[in-house]
Amino acid sequence: QGRPVSWEEGIESIHSGSHLEAPSVFVTPELDGWVLVASSAYFDVVSDAEPDRLRRFVGDTAAQLRTEVQFFATHRVVEGHAWAMADARGIRRAYFYLGEVDECLLDVGEKTRAEEALKCFAPGSTTVPDESTVMQIARAWSVDPTELAERFPQVAPGYLGTIARATSGDAEIET
């Protein structure tokens, strides 16, 4: 069952929770029209052997919710960095770079203005996406999760729950 928690507690819980059985998920209240869902388990969406899973996950979620959905993930150990955007009609943009193999594993849709403004997408650049790239894109598209406390100092608590693993390997949120 989900329970109300501050985002400090919510973020701490998703980073310290078990990744094997039921990883934590933190859901914020509405922030500038957005609801953020954070879990370290969501990197699994992009880190498996099938990079196109990101496109399906974000596209299917947007279609089911009938609204725009954005996805951001970063993993410091493997230097994996991903972002995606979809609406009820389907995926508009999805990108996944895995530094561990120095390869772009997914690049779907037109680059957004936010991406084009970054060094890693400049013609001839040897710069690769990193965690700050993901946060810059999140800030340009909607809300930078690293700035929540500064931008929203008096926000209501969010909810902490767990993610149940379905037998198909897809994640379902239990709150």
pLDDT band at 63 (very low <50, low <70, confident <90, very high): very high
Per-residue model confidence (pLDDT) at position 21? 65
Cα separation, 161 vs 34, in Å, equals: 19
What was the pLDDT predicted at 151? 87
Strand-pair partners of 97: 81, 104
Higher-pLDDT residue of 166, 106:
106
**Weakest mean pLDDT among 53-57, 96-100, 171-175:** 171-175
- 102 φ/ψ sector (left φ>0, alpha ψ -120 to 50, else beta): left
Q: What is the dihedral sign for C-alpha 116, 119, 125, 126?
A: negative
**pTM given for the model:** 0.83
